[in-house]
């Protein structure tokens, strides 16, 4: 665990430069706007340890799978969001001496992520080997107001010398992914052009043939006077640059501006990319850096109005929740149903940047409550559009009759994960997608989604579960063999309680959804029946039979659901017995030792209690929570938030707060020693859930919002805004009061604890 980020409510601040922490900071201080993003690399040259990362949403490469032992059914490739052209590059020298912080004496270094206004600022003083001293303030952002635009400002002051400053502003497309399986570079050059102060570099991905034009316009001012850039004429493949020189006197400041755009063939015809880039640069340049930054602040003000959480009395917790919300809003804006949310967003390459089940299980609730309904809906439509691919994925594994198995990892709907125990066995992802449909409808009331999109998906998923189980004569029940649950520290096990529970629920929900569509839209229902060749009586009967006769492992002595068959055969150690030097297990133990141990990456059973809490009383939850929590090492980023929410329900404020802080500051404090690979974007939604669903106890019951609030002992109060079925509510919770402000003229009924209250327009305070 690191602890070098200063606690401030609206800013993430690093004071002092430690090269050993640089890659961690590059992740933490990343910026993006849903269309593109980048790590917090330096603009100037840096020969120290770094992971240069610039990413364009939706652009990927099918990197050939690399495994030691090929198995039938393996995907041929692992899809990867690509490290794209580096547009921020500035090569700077003073009288021929290159500015490089790995070679200079650095003082007064500060990195600051201004979350309120949406920009990254870095400042430092450096002494070069020659003794020349410079002061730099660099600021940049990816525009939320215009998501095709990014911009930077770089101010350099000569502190103790007169000398010549040389500035080369470049775009470098000769990049590769750190996670390339065969050290291959994934881009080919299509064209490049230097035109005065403007450069264009168009690259094409191999195989997938996406094209991206990265265009920049650079300017340099000294004492208010513009210094002309000219083409540098560096004849390098996948590289363009312009150069300017200026004589600086002691105390003078040179200011470099660079406006950039990434224009992709996802959105424009390939032959239009350079022209569109030119148009985007023209409109952005006309506004100028200061106005673009002002527009950025206004766009973020709107985002914060929707999604901010205000905590009184705990600066570390306040900073953490805003950091998580900030990164969520940087990663996905919901404008494009072709895009989804990678576990690392725009902050790194681990996990390929592809879509996982995290989106449905963790991210959907955040966007449902903090954004217009179409944002979450687009995440569901993404899966609907991949239904045929999901059917094909199932066919590759031997399933038929329209059974759909959604991929564990994907960019285009095709499975591209290649660890057999996950690719073939971590099939609970199917259930998370079905549950997200249910959750969306429960929250929005948009039942029409079933007839437009949802029912077809649910039919495919139900058909998969029906074929995946088999009848056990020994148990006289349906069983599910050879699976991996969310706890990936158990592989190839039988009767994972969570997976069996989720499968049975999916089968029942598919039948229920069909009845809803048949009632509300009989003509559309008939079309769906015909399109899917649904044999209603026979298939519904089969689905209900499996759901009604599913086997669930259970131990009578401990009175808990067992994570899977044979779980109690393991030596029953507790996390409290683990030496701290053994943590994290995935970095200290062999995989064999992990698999044989009782220790849990994330508790499958408790994930089931989170989804289906209404099915179990508090005492059942308490027994299972105490049993599994004691054995869980939380080495999945998705784990602590679920534990926090369940601890809140059990009124265990101490544990709820402990797990909240762990999930909220997971990356800021580098809990799992892996932040340098990128942030845990999808689990950040769980931080929001820990507060809104945990501490505030917000649920949707019978088409109404319900709150069961408490305030952690470390806080005075907390406040947040949510949108529910077209109405925006402002919620403030103190130790014994909840204040609800309704912005709409319509009266809304909410439940607080077990009592209903009418909330007319205006504010109502309820004491409990």
Catalytically annotated residues = 488
DSSP 564-608: STTGGGS----GGGS-GGG-SHHHHS-HHHHHHS--BSS-HHHHH
How far is 298 from 121, CA to CA, in rounded Å? 18
Tokens of 257: 């501006």
Q: What is the 3-state secondary structure (H, E, C) of 536-571?
A: HHHHHHHHHHHHHCECCCEECCCCEECCCCCHHHCC
- Residue corresponding to tokens 């009604």: 548
Which among 476, 493, 380 has a CA at the least distance from the CA of 437? 380
- Residue corresponding to tokens 């508790």: 603
How far is 95 from 564, CA to CA, in rounded Å? 68
Q: Long-range contact list for 517-524, CB < 8 A, 24+ apart?
A: 517/450, 517/451, 517/455, 520/447, 520/448, 520/451, 521/448, 521/451, 524/451
Residues 6+ apart with CB under 8 A from 538: none
Q: Is 556 exposed, middle or buried (0-12, 13-18, 19+ CB in 10 A)?
A: exposed
- Residue corresponding to tokens 């439940």: 751
How far is 432 from 667, CA to CA, in rounded Å? 25
DSSP 714-767: T-SEEEEEEEETTEEEEEEE-SSEEEEEE-SSS-EEEEETTEEEEE-SEEEEEE
- The packing angle between helices 455-468 and 428-444, to 10°, is 150
CA atoms within a 13 Å half-sphere pointing along the CA-CB vector of 239: 14
How far is 498 from 108, CA to CA, in rounded Å? 52
How far is 50 from 155, CA to CA, in rounded Å? 23
How far is 432 from 604, CA to CA, in rounded Å? 13
Cα angle for residues 151, 199, 245 (degrees, 5° grid): 80
> Can you list the positions of beta strands (E) in 616-666?
none
DSSP 312-339: ES-HHHHHHHHHHHHHHHHH--SS-TT-
Tokens of 688: 């929001």
């Amino acid at each position: 665990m690191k602890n070098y980020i200063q606690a401030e409510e609206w800013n993430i601040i690093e004071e002092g430069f430690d090269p050993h922490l640089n890659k961690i900071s590059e992740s933490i201080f990343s910026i993006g706007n849903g269309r593109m993003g980048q790590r917090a690399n330096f603009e100037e040259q840096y020969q120290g340890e770094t992971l240069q990362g610039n990413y364009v949403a939706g652009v990927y490469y099918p990197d050939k799978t690399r495994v030691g032992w090929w198995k039938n059914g393996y995907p041929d490739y692992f899809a990867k969001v690509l490290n794209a052209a580096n547009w921020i590059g500035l090569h700077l020298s003073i009288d021929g001496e290159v500015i490089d912080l790995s070679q200079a004496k650095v003082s007064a270094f500060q990195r600051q992520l201004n979350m309120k206004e949406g920009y990254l600022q870095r400042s430092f003083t450096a002494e070069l080997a020659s003794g020349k001293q410079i002061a730099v303030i660099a600021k940049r952002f990816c525009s939320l107001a215009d998501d095709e635009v990014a911009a930077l400002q770089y101010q350099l002051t000569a502190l103790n010398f007169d000398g010549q400053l040389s500035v080369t502003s470049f775009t470098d497309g000769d990049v590769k992914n750190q996670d390339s399986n065969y050290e291959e570079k994934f881009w080919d050059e299509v064209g490049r052009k230097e035109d005065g102060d403007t450069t264009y570099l168009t690259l094409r991905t191999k195989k997938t043939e996406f094209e991206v034009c990265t265009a920049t316009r650079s300017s340099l001012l000294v004492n208010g006077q513009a210094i002309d850039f000219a083409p540098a004429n560096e004849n390098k493949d996948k590289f363009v640059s312009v150069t300017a020189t200026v004589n600086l006197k002691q105390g003078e400041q040179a200011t470099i501006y660079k406006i950039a755009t990434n224009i992709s063939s996802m959105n424009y015809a390939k032959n239009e990319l350079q022209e569109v880039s030119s148009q985007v640069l023209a409109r952005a340049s006309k506004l100028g850096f200061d106005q673009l930054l002002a527009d950025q602040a206004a766009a973020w003000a709107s985002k914060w109005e929707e999604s901010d959480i205000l905590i009184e009395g705990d600066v570390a917790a306040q900073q953490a929740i805003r950091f998580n919300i900030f990164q969520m809003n940087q990663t996905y804006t919901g404008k494009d149903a072709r895009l989804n949310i990678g576990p690392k967003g725009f902050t790194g390459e681990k996990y390929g940047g592809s879509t996982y089940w995290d989106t449905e299980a963790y991210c959907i609730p955040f966007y449902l409550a903090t954004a217009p309904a179409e944002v979450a809906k687009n995440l569901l439509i993404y899966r609907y559009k991949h239904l045929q691919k999901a059917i094909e994925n199932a066919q590759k594994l031997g399933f038929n009759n329209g059974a759909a198995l959604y991929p564990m990892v994907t960019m285009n709907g095709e499975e591209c994960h290649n660890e057999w125990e996950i690719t073939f066995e971590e099939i609970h992802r199917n259930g998370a997608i079905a549950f997200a449909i249910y959750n969306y409808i429960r929250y929005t009331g948009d039942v029409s989604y079933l007839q437009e999109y949802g029912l077809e998906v649910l039919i495919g998923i139900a058909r998969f579960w029906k074929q995946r189980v088999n009848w056990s004569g020994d148990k006289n029940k349906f069983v599910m063999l050879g699976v991996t649950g969310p706890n990936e520290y158990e592989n190839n096990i039988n009767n994972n309680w969570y997976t069996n529970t989720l499968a049975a629920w999916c089968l029942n929900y598919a039948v229920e959804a069909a009845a809803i569509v048949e009632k509300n839209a009989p003509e559309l229902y008939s079309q769906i029946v015909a399109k899917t060749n649904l044999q209603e009586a026979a298939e519904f009967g089969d689905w209900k039979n499996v759901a009604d006769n599913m086997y669930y492992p259970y131990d009578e002595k401990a009175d808990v659901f067992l994570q899977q068959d044979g779980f109690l055969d393991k030596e029953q150690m507790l996390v409290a017995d683990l030496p701290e030097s053994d943590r994290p297990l995935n970095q200290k133990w062999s995989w064999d030792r992990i698999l044989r141990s009782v220790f849990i990456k994330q508790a499958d059973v408790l994930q089931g209690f989170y989804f289906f809490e209404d099915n179990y009383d508090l005492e059942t939850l308490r027994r299972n929570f105490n049993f599994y929590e004691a054995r869980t090492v939380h080495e999945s980023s998705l784990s602590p938030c679920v534990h926090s929410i369940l601890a809140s329900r059990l009124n265990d404020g101490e544990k709820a707060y402990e797990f909240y802080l762990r999930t909220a500051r997971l990356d800021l404090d580098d809990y799992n020693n892996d932040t340098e690979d990128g942030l845990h974007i999808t689990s950040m939604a769980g931080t929001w859930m820990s507060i809104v669903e945990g501490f505030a106890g917000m649920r949707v019951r019978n088409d109404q919002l319900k709150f069961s609030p408490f305030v952690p002992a470390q806080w005075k109060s907390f406040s947040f805004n949510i949108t529910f079925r077209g109405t925006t509510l402002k919620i403030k919770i103190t130790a014994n009061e909840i204040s609800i402000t309704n912005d709409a003229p319509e009266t809304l009924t909410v439940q607080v604890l077990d009592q209903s209250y009418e909330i007319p327009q205006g504010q109502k305070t309820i004491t409990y």
